[in-house]
Amino acid sequence: MERDGERIEITISSRFENIELVQVIAEHLCENAGMDEDGSHWIGMAVREAVANAIKHGNKLDIKKKVSAVFELNGHDLAITISDEGTGFDPTAVSDPLNPQNLMKTSGRGIFYMRTFMDQIRYSFQDGGGTSLIMTKNLAKGTGLATGKA
């Protein structure tokens, strides 16, 4: 099923308990668009990681700062934008969790999971502060998992 012009937006305060609200919207939107349950789950997981990063690293757990999520579905093309009010970061400085020296680290896998489950992710940094993460996925491609086991 193709759905043209579907747009959903939600804004939450920076509380971890709000992450699931955004994740559930992502999963339902994908399932309504005809994505299978596993594929919808993995996109929901990418959204979970993105919102968690926005709350923790972007807004630094300041509940007065907001995180917004915009879902735009055109045909099979899904674009998800997660924005925070933080000062940004250098994406090229994020270490590779598959590097043997990083394998046993207790953090640093969130962006890797996003890249794994989505077709493309990119960051946009606003001059006055604020970071947006734009993730895209063609829902007709299936789960897109690197291992192809799900």
Stretch that binds other proteins, among 28-36, 75-83, 87-95, 109-117 (CB under 8 A): 109-117
Single residue of 116, 134, 138, 142 touching other proteins by CB under 8 A: 116
Q: Comparing C-alpha atoms, which of 131, 143, 144, 148 is closest to residue 66?
A: 131
Q: Comparing C-alpha atoms, which of 92, 23, 85 is closest to residue 51?
A: 23
Pattern of binders to other proteins over 64-103, x per CB under 8 A? ---------------------------------xx----x
Cα(73)–Cα(93) distance, rounded to whole angstroms? 31
Q: Comparing C-alpha atoms, which of 115, 117, 128 is closest to residue 150?
A: 117
Contact 69, 44 (CB under 8 A): no
57 counts as binding other proteins under rule CB under 8 A: no
Q: Which is nearer to other proteins, 23 or 131 (CB)?
A: 23
Q: Comparing C-alpha atoms, which of 80, 66, 78, 48 is closest to residue 130?
A: 66
CB of 53 to other proteins, least distance (A): 9
Q: Which is nearer to other proteins, 92 or 147 (CB)?
A: 147
112 counts as binding other proteins under rule CB under 8 A: yes
Burial of 93: CB neighbours in 10 Å, binned 0-12, 13-18, 19+: exposed
Q: Which is nearer to other proteins, 49 or 85 (CB)?
A: 49
Binding site for other proteins (CB under 8 A): 16-17, 19, 41, 45, 48-49, 52, 56, 97-98, 103-107, 109-110, 112-113, 116, 145-147, 149-150
